[in-house]
């Protein structure tokens, strides 16, 4: 059985990749994932906003107390090796690179141009094999229109494309007015792959305490259909690889994703739930399924249920159900 | 001679750089002003910086200075080259070992930033009282007077000690030299290698204790031999000055800088000479040069080697023409015939005369004087007064200079306008806030000018006595010659005021010379600012024909994303206006300095500072002085007219920064100070203050409970009192079944609040339709200042609650009580003071506090004003600070005395009961004072007793009158931080717990030495980065509570107000009620944890939930009830310790430095928390078996043995 797939310029032994998550924070887990057959690894996002915030708040909350009182010029040691910035991430990236032989994809999450681009360069220097960009931001400003939001993101992709030589994947959110058009634009701007879709912390309301909390729940297979739709719509129509992220828990979820056009299947929640070794179970089940259903390779099934090849494209294209009677074309 | 690097450092760094490179073992303990020498040494060793032999010195932090001295003594005996750094009380703790080290003829150098010893008061500032207490230890004592000299003399001491085999105490003036930043020539490793004699090091090693060639030291000797053996070392003391001279000569050949045991400067035929040691000698040297240039025959003799005193060298250093000598001592030795240097010199001169060695043409007149205690200014006016005194036929002897002594009239009169500073020295004074970064920027400016121009540079910084809203004054000098002006700038060509409100508080033009430039940070536009200035400032600007520039630096810094850090903005303006460097070069250098300083803080910080620099000059504008007329608004008075006389006469002068002008007669004779004077100091430092919305308030009183400054208060008062209040005074009906018919108010003290926001963080009451709005919200202070101040005044006038009316003393009830600890100088958002305030509310009217030195003694007792207060009856907390190390013992002593007084009262009462009345006497003796009602009743009985005693004319009656108040229950609280309780005072604390006496110990646990700048203590948790544990502390925190529980007889509680407020109140009440020792360990968030203190309560909650800080109470009284003595108050653990750790810079720094190490710490801390919790839970299930009741013994016939 030929499970091989080609994603972001890499020939991978199979499509199931541990997605960006805390899974790769720990070197032991990284090794276990490789042992479980991970064909590539994606590190947790280097979160640009968090870096800036930490720099500023550490600066304000440590510096402002010094040089104020005669008995204490400072309140903290000033270790030479203590540097606030992406160094922690870069060091980790180097360590992961040293410990595994599969491609390591670094992930970047940023909203502002500038430091973001610099961080991309640093990731390249630190040995990343590819970069996955997670560019979504919530457009809460009443005066910023969709076109401006999209253009800002495309600029970032173009800038980063110009700054680094590495393959770039762009992880999109489903909340664009015209996701298909925007996906195509991303590919034109330099994205080698599109990842559908990112998941966010969601607000939850505590009606008693009158508070809004942020929570991130593990995904379920129920989230997959949204992704299948847009994989299918983009499959074969954009000049970029496609990957699915969010909702893949079983081998069959992976099969569906590939049939809708995915070259790579990112798995996070299932691994967090069942442990890194579950990756091996997934691939074994996946292979078995292919055998049972008499497929010869992943390549031949990829995109067979995409918009252009599926028996009934209207299922993807229409938002509402129509009676067969109403589907009559005049 | 090779060219050496010019560096810009302070005295401590200059000294430590030498000591670290010439040592193998360094034992340290933090104490102001020497702490940074230890911190630097520790940091250098942590980075792997080696000594001149290529080895990294071992640096160890000890539990006290006594411990550090013991450790270096051991290291020396085992053959290591060792050093330590200390000052003041720390030095005193080292004295026992100093005798030993000297008696054993051990080469060793200790470096002392000389500091005042605590007498009638503590002072962190500089004088020689500490080192003079060591003059009979047998140590050689070498003194330096400037930053350059301090570095040089450190090297000379390390060289001489090896050759002399005598230990050296190298000292320099605390703050004036230790903290002065100056441009000096750095000693290279080659220099230091050339200074030390390798053969002497080998000899030192050969003398070490070794089982391979065993020897015995430290024998006990008896009358037959001790004396002779003590004299056996004489030759070494005799030879020591020669070795110092050799070292100085070697040093001069290497560097070209020549020092002698006694350095003379001045006219070769001087008639009047001042002899002194330390930084003051530089100022005298400067004036001598000025006077000699004007034809005066004067000179100065700088004493370098004070011990052993080399008489011959002294005599020959002076011109033989000398007619009068003034010997100045920076110390006071009450009762002596004179201060130490004076006595030595008198002796030396007399002996020379006796021996016929006197070199002088005529016998000189000699007078002695004291100067500069506690860093008192010693500049040209004082020095000239001394020279003038020497001119007199009968010069005043045993004088003081620098103060006005209108009591014993010892002081010399000074001409305060006398000034000699040359025009080619640029002098600048900056008024800033600690938080705005002014001092840091000025240090950078000095570095830039010192290192990028041929100019010499000097910076000295004056700090506030408060920790929140602290002001700083920077004094900078730049000039073509080495700067000897070891005193504050007196005539500045440039004055900057970085905070607009300072013009309302201080005479910021005090040092401005005619034609000077004044730069003001102000929100006002250039065309409007003039009218906003107080008239005094306008007059100063006009009369001195000054130039005025303004900038809205807060806006520039704010736009750049730097908050209130306006330092770089103001720095750019300084360079642009002063012209010390070409403007473009200055900006380039500032940016370079920013990159160097902040690159480790992150690219964003550098970027934002660059943006501020680039935007600065476009926002600076000149205001033409004199274009507009003077306005009439004068600077408001420092304190209210209603303030007590002492506050107006003394404290207000100190608050205005003019305390130097107060004469001796202004002060209490024994350091005793009135309580409750912070209330008169309206600091107005909060930008935002809480405002109460009564419609939403649920009257929980959490806001008042957590307030660190007693600046938000609650009161319940009878409706009758509310009836006459103005309509705009907010109140609602008080919700309480116990206290009906009362009104309730939450009120902020707007001018005393520091704006921390903890009250809002704690407030649980939200507006349901707009939950962002709470019962209290932070609101800009300025627009509501007057209204809220008026309301606060009304609030204070309302009657205090009847303490006996509060049936449930819970969080809510406790906050209805008047705080007797208010408006302290503690940090904004301090985590300690809410506990201290609670103590004052619950027991403050009958409490004596023993307070260990540290943060709590500083915010509790650092003048000008005092936060411990009294109530309307005149009762309040009597507070005293003895020392750092002895606080538990000190508190026990207070208890013993109070108990003794009570016994005296009881004895006298019994004796006088027939006259007083048996019934009253019995009631007094048997009174139940376990509650507020009982105490109130006893006070009434005492009043009745006092009335009765008035009618009795016997001595017993008078004696009983003197102790009558002791019949009312008194509470002793022993308060201090973790540095005291876990480290330096642990032995005493342990002993007091074991004593069984009724004292209450409150440990304000910030998990570091907060007051001296965040050094690790044994309370520091595993994984936290602190000074002396930079890479994260390896060992876990000592479980002080568990240790105390093992006694079984002590009440022990661990509390965290952010964890469970009610448990905190309960612990305080139980501890105080327990008739025996009690210990409360209180989690205190602190700025040294590195996060915004507004989240302090959240972190406390997390600490409790994760098991980092399990709450418990251990009450021996529960045993008698058949219950386990330990009660765990924390619910089962939840959440991860790592999540708690990641919120604080102290842990996060470690993660950034070494993520794997952090993970190990997080894992180990998680495990430790689980284990600790489990141990407590198991202990909480343990009942202590009571011994079976013994059957009543049958009477035994005398003499019969069973």
Cβ contact A52–B604 (<8 Å): yes
Instruction: Kindly state the tokens that stand for B923.
Output: 């009631």
Domain count, chain A: 1
Contact by Cβ (8 Å): B436, B567? yes
- Flag whether pLDDT at B1114 surpasses 90: yes
> Which CATH number is B682-817 given?
3.30.70.20
In a domain, A15, yes or no: yes
Between residues B157 and B597, the one the model is more confident about: B157
Say whether domain B6-209+235-254 belongs to CATH 3.40.50.970.
Answer: yes
- Which CA distances in Å does B72 have to B83, B304, B873, B1080? 7, 25, 54, 34
Ordered strands of the B272-276 beta sheet: B262-266, B298-303, B272-276, B324-329, B365-371, B399-401
Torsion region of B266: left, alpha or beta (phi above 0 gives left; psi -120 to 50 gives alpha): left
Dist. CA B543–CA B829, nearest whole Å = 43
In a domain, A182, yes or no: yes
pLDDT of residue A84: 66
| B854/chain A closest Cα distance in angstroms | 10
Instruction: Kindly state the tokens that stand for B1157.
Output: 């190490």
Please state the rounded mean pLDDT for residues A252-279: 96
Superfamily (CATH H level) for B427-623: Pyruvate-ferredoxin oxidoreductase, PFOR, domain III (3.40.920.10)
- Flag whether pLDDT at A116 surpasses 60: yes
In a domain, A93, yes or no: yes
Band of residue A227 on the pLDDT scale cut at 50, 70, 90: very high
Between residues B950 and B1153, the one the model is more confident about: B950
DSSP state of A132: E
- Flag whether pLDDT at A330 surpasses 80: no
Q: What is the ipTM of this complex?
A: 0.91
Lowest-confidence pick of A20-29, B341-350, B597-606, B1020-1029: B597-606
Dist. CA A194–CA A198, nearest whole Å = 11
In a domain, A75, yes or no: no
In a domain, A77, yes or no: no
- Flag whether pLDDT at B1199 surpasses 70: no
- Flag whether pLDDT at A23 surpasses 60: yes
Band of residue B1193 on the pLDDT scale cut at 50, 70, 90: low
- Flag whether pLDDT at B1186 surpasses 80: no
Q: Quick check: is B115 catalytic?
A: yes
Dist. CA B270–CA B891, nearest whole Å = 56
Number of other CB atoms surrounding residue B628 within 10 Å:
13
Q: Are B262-401 and B427-623 in the same CATH fold? A: no
pLDDT of residue A328: 53
Domain holding A164, by residue range, is 5-68+82-327
Whether A57 and chain B come into contact, CB under 8 Å, resolves to: yes
- Tens-place pLDDT, residues B265-314: 999 999 999 999 999 999 999 999 999 999 999 999 999 999 999 999 99
Whether B34 and chain A come into contact, CB under 8 Å, resolves to: no
In a domain, A76, yes or no: no
How many residues appear in chain A? 330
In a domain, A261, yes or no: yes
* CA angle A173–A178–A179, rounded 5-degree value: 35
- Tens-place pLDDT, residues B476-487: 999 999 999 999
Lowest-confidence pick of A109-113, A136-140, B437-441, B958-962: A109-113
Band of residue B435 on the pLDDT scale cut at 50, 70, 90: confident
Between residues B1091 and A135, the one the model is more confident about: B1091
- Tens-place pLDDT, residues B810-829: 999 999 999 999 999 999 99
Listed residue (B670, B634, B640) closest to B655, CA to CA: B640
Number of other CB atoms surrounding residue B910 within 10 Å:
14
| A25/chain B closest Cα distance in angstroms | 10
pLDDT of residue B667: 97
H/E element, A108: strand A104-109
β-strand B25-28 against B58-61: which pairing, if any? parallel
Listed residue (B854, B799, B859) closest to B823, CA to CA: B859
pLDDT of residue B477: 97
DSSP string, B451-519: HHSS-EEEEEEEEBS-SSS-EEEEEEEEESS-----S--SSEEEEEESSTTHHHHS-TTTTEEEEEEEE
Please state the rounded mean pLDDT for residues B1089-1113: 96
Contacts of B935 (CB under 8 A, 6+ apart): B846, B929, B968, B969
pLDDT of residue B564: 85
Cβ contact B1155–A88 (<8 Å): yes
Please return the burial class of B88, using the count of CB atoms within 10 Å of its CB with bins 0-12, 13-18 and 19+: buried
Band of residue B1202 on the pLDDT scale cut at 50, 70, 90: very low
Question: What's the sign of the alpha-carbon dihedral B670, B671, B677, B682?
Answer: positive
Dist. CA B168–CA B162, nearest whole Å = 10
- Tens-place pLDDT, residues B801-812: 999 999 999 999
* CA angle A63–A65–A71, rounded 5-degree value: 120
- Which CA distances in Å does B20 have to A235, B106, B934? 68, 18, 62
Q: Which of B137, B331, B745, B1011 is catalytic?
A: B1011
In a domain, A74, yes or no: no
CATH for B262-401, among 3.40.50.970, 3.40.50.460, 3.40.50.720, 3.40.50.920? 3.40.50.920
- Which CA distances in Å does B914 have to B244, B551, B903, B908, B920? 77, 79, 18, 11, 10
Residues of A in contact with B1146 (CB under 8 A): 76
Topology of domain B1017-1180 in CATH is: Rossmann fold (3.40.50)
* CA angle B191–B193–B198, rounded 5-degree value: 150
| CATH code: domain of residue A178 | 3.20.20.70
Band of residue A60 on the pLDDT scale cut at 50, 70, 90: confident
Lowest-confidence pick of A140-149, B150-159, B259-268: A140-149
Pick from A65, A71, A74: CB nearest B124: A71
Pick from B598, B607, B1012: CB nearest A72: B1012
Peptide bond into B864 cis (omega under 30): yes
pLDDT of residue B1201: 42
Instruction: Kindly state the tokens that stand for B1183.
Output: 């009942």
Q: Quick check: is B1143 catalytic?
A: no
B positions 777-816 inside 8 Å of A (CB): none
Peptide bond into B308 cis (omega under 30): yes
- Flag whether pLDDT at A323 surpasses 70: no
SS3 B892: helix
Dist. CA B938–CA B521, nearest whole Å = 58
Half-sphere exposure of B329 toward its Cβ, with a 13 Å CA cutoff?
26
What share of chain A in percent tops pLDDT 70? 93
Q: What is the 3-state secondary structure (H, E, C) of B197-261?
A: CHHHHHHHHHCCCCCCCCCCCCCCCCCCCHHHHHHCCHHHHHHHHHHHHHHHHHHHHHHCCCCCC
Instruction: Kindly state the tokens that stand for B996.
Output: 């069984």
Q: Quick check: is B65 catalytic?
A: yes
| A80/chain B closest Cα distance in angstroms | 7
Contacts of B1165 (CB under 8 A, 6+ apart): B1021, B1022, B1023, B1036, B1108, B1137, B1138, B1141
Dist. CA B980–CA B832, nearest whole Å = 14
What share of chain B in percent tops pLDDT 70? 99
- Tens-place pLDDT, residues B163-216: 999 999 999 999 999 999 999 999 999 999 999 999 999 999 999 999 999 999
Answer whether 0.90 is exceeded by the pTM.
Answer: yes
Instruction: Kindly state the tokens that stand for B975.
Output: 């308060």
Please state the rounded mean pLDDT for residues B521-536: 95
Whether A70 and chain B come into contact, CB under 8 Å, resolves to: yes
The residue with tokens 């640096």 is B59
């Amino acid at each position: 059985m030929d499970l091989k797939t080609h994603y972001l310029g890499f020939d991978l032994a199979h499509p199931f990749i541990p997605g960006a998550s805390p899974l790769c924070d720990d070197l032991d887990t990284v090794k276990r994932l490789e042992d479980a057959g991970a064909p590539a690894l994606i590190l947790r996002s280097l979160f640009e906003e968090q870096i800036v915030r930490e720099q500023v708040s550490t600066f304000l909350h440590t510096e402002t107390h010094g040089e104020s009182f005669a008995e204490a010029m400072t309140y903290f040691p000033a270790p030479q090796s203590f540097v606030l910035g992406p160094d922690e991430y870069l060091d980790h990236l180097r360590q992961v690179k040293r410990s595994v032989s599969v491609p390591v994809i670094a992930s970047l999450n940023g909203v502002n141009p500038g430091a973001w681009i610099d961080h991309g360069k640093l990731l390249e220097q630190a040995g990343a094999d590819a970069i996955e960009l997670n560019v979504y931001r919530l457009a809460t400003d009443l005066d910023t229109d969709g076109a401006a939001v999209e253009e800002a993101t495309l600029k970032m992709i173009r800038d980063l494309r110009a700054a680094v030589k590495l393959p770039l994947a762009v992880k999109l959110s489903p909340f664009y007015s015209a996701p298909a058009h925007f996906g195509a634009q991303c590919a034109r701007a330099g994205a080698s792959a599109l990842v559908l879709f990112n998941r966010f912390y969601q607000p939850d309301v505590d009606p008693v305490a009158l508070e809004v909390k942020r929570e991130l729940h593990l995904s379920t297979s129920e989230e997959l259909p949204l992704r299948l739709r847009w994989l299918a719509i983009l499959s074969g129509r954009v000049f970029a690889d496609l990957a699915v992220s969010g909702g893949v828990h079983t081998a069959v979820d992976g099969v569906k994703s590939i049939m809708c056009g995915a070259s790579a299947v990112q798995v996070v929640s299932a691994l967090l739930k069942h442990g890194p070794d579950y990756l091996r179970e997934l691939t074994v089940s996946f292979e078995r399924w292919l055998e049972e259903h008499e497929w010869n390779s992943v390549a031949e099934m990829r995109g067979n249920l995409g918009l252009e090849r599926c028996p009934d494209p209207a299922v993807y294209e229409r938002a509402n159900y129509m009676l067969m009677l109403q589907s009559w074309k005049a | 001679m090779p060219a050496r690097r010019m560096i810009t450092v302070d005295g401590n760094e200059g000294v430590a750089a030498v000591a670290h490179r010439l040592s193998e073992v360094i034992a340290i303990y933090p104490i102001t002003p020497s702490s940074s020498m230890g911190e630097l040494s520790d940091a250098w060793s942590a980075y792997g910086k080696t000594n001149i032999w290529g080895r990294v010195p071992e640096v160890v932090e000890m539990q006290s200075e006594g411990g550090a001295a013991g450790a270096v003594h051991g290291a020396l005996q085992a053959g290591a080259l060792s050093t330590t750094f200390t000052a003041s009380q720390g030095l005193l703790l080292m004295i026992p070992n100093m005798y030993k080290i000297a008696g054993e003829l051990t080469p060793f150098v200790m470096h002392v930033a000389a500091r005042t010893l605590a007498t009638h008061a503590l002072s962190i500032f500089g004088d020689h009282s500490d080192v003079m207490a060591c003059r009979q230890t047998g140590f050689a004592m070498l003194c330096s007077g400037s930053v350059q000299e301090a570095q040089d003399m450190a090297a000379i001491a390390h060289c001489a000690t090896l050759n002399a085999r005598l230990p050296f105490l190298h000292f320099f003036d605390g703050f004036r030299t230790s903290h002065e930043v100056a441009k000096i020539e750095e000693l290279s490793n080659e220099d230091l290698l050339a200074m030390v004699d390798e053969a002497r090091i080998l000899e030192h090693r050969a003398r070490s204790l070794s089982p391979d060639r065993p020897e015995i030291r430290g024998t006990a000797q008896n009358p037959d031999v001790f004396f002779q053996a003590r004299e056996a070392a004489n030759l070494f003391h005799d030879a020591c000055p020669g070795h110092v001279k050799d070292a100085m000569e070697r040093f001069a050949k290497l560097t070209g800088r020549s020092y002698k045991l006694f350095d003379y400067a001045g006219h070769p035929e001087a008639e009047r000479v001042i002899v002194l040691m330390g930084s003051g000698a530089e100022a005298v040297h400067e004036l001598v040069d000025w006077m000699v240039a004007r034809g005066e025959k004067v000179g100065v003799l700088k004493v370098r080697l004070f011990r052993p005193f080399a008489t011959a060298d002294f005599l020959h250093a002076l011109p033989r023409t000398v007619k009068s000598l003034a010997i100045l001592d920076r110390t006071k030795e009450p009762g002596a015939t004179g201060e130490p240097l004076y006595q030595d010199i008198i002796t030396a001169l007399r002996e020379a005369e006796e021996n016929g060695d006197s070199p002088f043409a005529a016998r000189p007149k000699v007078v002695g004087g004291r100067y500069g205690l506690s860093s008192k200014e010693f500049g040209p006016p004082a020095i000239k007064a001394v020279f003038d005194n020497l001119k007199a036929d009968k010069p005043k002897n045993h004088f003081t200079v620098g103060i006005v002594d209108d009591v014993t009239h010892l002081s010399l009169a000074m001409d305060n306008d006398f000034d000699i500073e040359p025009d080619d020295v640029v002098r600048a004074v900056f008024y800033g806030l600690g938080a705005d970064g002014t001092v840091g920027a000025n240090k950078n400016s000095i570095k830039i000018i010192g290192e990028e121009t041929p100019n010499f540079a000097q910076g000295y910084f004056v700090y506030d006595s408060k920790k929140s809203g602290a002001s700083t004054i920077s004094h900078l000098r730049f000039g073509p010659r080495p700067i000897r002006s070891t005193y504050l700038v007196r005539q500045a060509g440039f004055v900057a005021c970085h905070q607009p409100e300072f013009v309302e508080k201080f005479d910021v033009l005090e040092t401005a010379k005619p034609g000077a430039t004044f730069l003001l940070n102000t929100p006002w536009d250039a065309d409007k600012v003039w009218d906003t200035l107080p008239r005094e400032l306008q007059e100063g600007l006009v009369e001195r024909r000054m130039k005025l520039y303004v900038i809205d630096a807060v806006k520039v810094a704010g736009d750049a994303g730097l908050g209130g850090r306006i330092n770089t903005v103001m720095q750019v303006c300084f360079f642009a206006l002063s012209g010390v460097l070409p403007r473009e070069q200055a900006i380039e250098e500032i940016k370079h300095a920013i990159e160097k300083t902040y690159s480790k803080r992150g690219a964003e910080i550098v970027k934002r500072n660059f943006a501020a620099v680039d935007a600065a000059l476009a926002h600076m504008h000149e205001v033409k002085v004199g274009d507009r007329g003077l306005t009439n608004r004068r600077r408001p008075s420092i304190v209210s007219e209603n303030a007590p006389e002492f506050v107006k006469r003394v404290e207000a002068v100190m608050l205005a920064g003019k305390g130097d002008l107060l004469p001796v007669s202004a002060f209490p004779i024994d350091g005793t100070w009135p309580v409750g004077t912070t209330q008169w100091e309206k600091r107005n430092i909060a930008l935002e203050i809480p405002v109460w919305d009564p419609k939403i308030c649920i009257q929980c009183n959490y806001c008042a409970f957590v307030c660190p400054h007693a600046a938000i208060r609650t009161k319940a008062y009878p409706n009758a009192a509310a009836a006459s209040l103005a309509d705009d005074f907010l109140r609602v009906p008080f919700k309480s079944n116990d206290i009906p018919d009362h009104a309730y108010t939450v009120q902020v003290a707007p001018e005393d609040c520091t704006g921390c926001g903890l009250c809002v963080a704690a407030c649980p009451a939200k507006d349901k339709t707009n939950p962002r709005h709470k019962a209290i919200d932070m609101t800009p202070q300025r627009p509501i200042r007057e209204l809220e101040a008026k309301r606060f005044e009304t609030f204070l006038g309302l009657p205090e609650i009847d303490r006996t009316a509060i049936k449930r003393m819970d969080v809510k009830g406790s906050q209805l009580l008047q705080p007797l600890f208010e408006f302290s100088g503690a940090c904004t958002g301090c985590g300690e003071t809410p506990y201290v305030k609670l103590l004052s509310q619950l027991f403050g009217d009958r409490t004596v506090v023993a307070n260990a030195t540290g943060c709590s003694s500083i915010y509790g007792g650092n003048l000008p004003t005092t936060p411990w207060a009294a109530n309307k009856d005149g009762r309040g907390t009597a507070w005293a600070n003895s020392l750092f190390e002895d606080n538990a013992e000190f508190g026990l002593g207070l208890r013993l005395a109070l108990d003794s007084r009570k016994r005296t009262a009881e004895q006298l009462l019994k004796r006088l009961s027939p006259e007083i009345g048996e019934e009253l006497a019995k009631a007094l003796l048997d009174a139940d004072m376990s509650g507020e009602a009982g105490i109130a009743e006893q006070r009434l009985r005492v009043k009745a007793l006092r009335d009765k005693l008035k009618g009795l004319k016997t001595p017993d009656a008078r004696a009983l009158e003197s102790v009558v108040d002791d019949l009312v229950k008194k509470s002793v609280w022993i308060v201090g931080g973790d540095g005291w309780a876990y480290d330096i005072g642990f032995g005493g604390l342990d002993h007091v717990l074991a004593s069984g006496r009724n004292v209450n110990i409150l440990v304000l646990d910030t998990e570091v030495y907060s007051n001296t700048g965040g050094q690790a203590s044994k309370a520091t948790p595993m994984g936290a980065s602190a000074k002396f544990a930079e890479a994260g502390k390896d060992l876990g925190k000592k479980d002080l509570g568990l240790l105390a529980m093992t006694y079984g007889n002590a009440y022990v509680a661990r509390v965290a107000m952010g964890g469970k407020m009610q448990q905190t109140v309960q612990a305080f009440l139980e501890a105080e009620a327990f008739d025996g020792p009690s210990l409360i360990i209180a989690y205190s968030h602190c700025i040294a944890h590195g996060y915004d203190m507004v989240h302090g309560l959240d972190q406390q909650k997390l600490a409790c939930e994760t098991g980092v800080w399990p709450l418990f109470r251990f009450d021996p009284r529960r045993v008698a009830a058949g219950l386990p003595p330990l009660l765990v108050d924390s619910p089962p653990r939840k959440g991860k310790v790592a999540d708690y750790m990641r919120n604080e810079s102290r842990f996060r720094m470690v993660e950034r430095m070494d993520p794997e190490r952090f993970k190990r710490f997080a894992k180990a801390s998680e495990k430790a928390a689980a284990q600790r919790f489990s141990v407590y839970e198991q202990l909480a299930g343990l009942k202590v078996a009571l011994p079976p009741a013994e059957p009543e013994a049958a009477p035994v016939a005398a003499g019969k043995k069973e």
